[in-house]
Structures are given as structure tokens and as C-alpha cells.
Structure 1
Amino acid sequence: MERHLSLIPLSHEHKRLLFVCRYLKRDAAPYEGFPLETQAKLAYVVKIFQEVMVPHIQKETYLFEKCAGKHPQIDALIQELEEEHRIISGMYGVLAGSKELDADMDKLARHLETHIRKEERVFFMLLQEHLPDILASLQWQP
């Protein structure tokens, strides 16, 4: 199924965040222009979380609010995704003081990747199937 137009901006952000996930994993392959030193990776993840992840979660919160209370399966998934947002934010929050930074970045990357895949493969598909009118009414802020 093709992605609904209103979800495409979120999917593009997911794609960028999935790159971050690959980059943060312990077994990350070298990427041109991206250092693999731990502190450089931390600086990059801090930048991306501020520039992409925080606004992304705000957009998803807006999406959750618009879709809540319309379908029981979607409501249950919204609760799961909101809890995952809290967990991922908490994992990010401990990086600055981490004594096992490589392991903690790897753990964050794996959790975030699983979360994004669930949103793309399950949540967005349910929205497109059951709430197309809600999706058509979404107004994203620039």
C-alpha cells in the first residue's frame, strides 16, 4: 500500500532516524564523513535528537491526539507507541552521564529502530486502512 500523503513527512524523518540507528550501533560500518569515535557519535546523536527527534515526537503526539478514540486497535497501539517514546527519550537522557556510552548508544539505536519499524509497518498501515479521513484532515506545522 502506498503511503498516505499526510504521513510522508513522518516517513522521511523515520528514514533519517533509521540511518542514525545504523550509525549508532556497535557494529556500524564506516560511513563517509561520519567518524566512529564514541564522543563524535554522541555529538551527532545530540544534534539529531534536537533537530529531528524532538519535533518528530511532537508531530506524532499531534497525530496520536487526532486519531485517539476512533478505533480500539489503533488506541492500543497509540498507548504502546507513547510508552516507547518515553523509554527512548529516557535512554537518550542517560547518554550524557553514561559510563558505557557505546553500549548505551547501541541499545538506544536498537530500540529506536524497532519503534520506527512498528510505526511504519503497523501503525501507519492501520491508520491508512481505518482512518483515511483523519489523515486527510491533518495540518502539519512548518
Structure 2
Amino acid sequence: MSEVSRLLAHARGNESASVFGLVRTVERMRGRPLTVRESAELAPGTFGLWRNGHDRDEVLYAPWVAAPDRTVAHELGHIVLGHHGLPVEEAARHTLPSEWHDMASFMLRQCGQDSGGDEDLLQLERDAEGFASELCRRISGVGRARSARIRSHFNEIL
């Protein structure tokens, strides 16, 4: 069973009718709060960001994105696929002013917080993007079945 199928199978009521409805499903599956909100504070060129906190998760998306549901689906992909969130150096680049990036990188290397290889990060992004594509396709879905479970099974058959 794909992770998208698993997510849709856990959806209740109308949660599976939209990506934003599935936020409650992910929250329940993980047993921790998940908030999703628009944020004008994201770095230029950043569509969305998942913040994996100690006791909660937060997904931010930029106000200028053309399809917020697609951006949120991508970030939900990271969560559902079990990714560990942004490496600390990447998170610093997304949150600190650009003039501080070199200093932050230097300090993180000194503390042994160097991030992993670029190819590993690219694979995580490809996986999250594949999840988002499949999820959005299923939500817009064939058959318009009201039940998440029925729609999930129907889409797997196709």
C-alpha cells in the first residue's frame, strides 16, 4: 500500500476532500499537533517549509504560491514519508538574513552539525514531490466517491 493510500484510508468524513482537510488526518496518525499557515516570512524562492518541532509540526507556505494545496501536499509528503525535516544548516538559511548565512554555516560546522550530501536531499525532495503529485491527483480524483477508503481503493485499481 502506498503512503498516499495509507493516508487516505485513515481519513474521516470529508477530510479526504482536500489537502487541507488531510492535515487533521496526519495530525491524528502522528499523535501530535500540526498547524498549516501562510507566512510572508519565508526566504525568497521558498514555496513551503516544514518545521519539525519537539512536540508539534508546522507547515508554512508563501503567500505568492499559485497552488497552496500543492505546496502543502509536498510538505505533508515529507512528514508522512518519515523524513526528518530540514538539516539545521538549511533551516538556518531559510530563517536568517542572507548576510548571516556564512557565519551560521561556520558555527554549525564547528559544532559538528554539517548537513548530509546534496544527492540525499534531492532524493527526499523527489520523494515528497511524487507524494504530492499522487495525492493531488487522487483528491481531484476519478469517480468522486465520497468515502476516502473507496476513493483510495478505486485509485489503486487505476
Give me the TM-score of the superposition, normalised by structure 2.
Answer: 0.29
The structure in which a higher percent of residues are strand is 2
Structure of larger gyration radius: 2
Which structure has more relative contact order (CA 8 Å, sep 6+)? It is 1
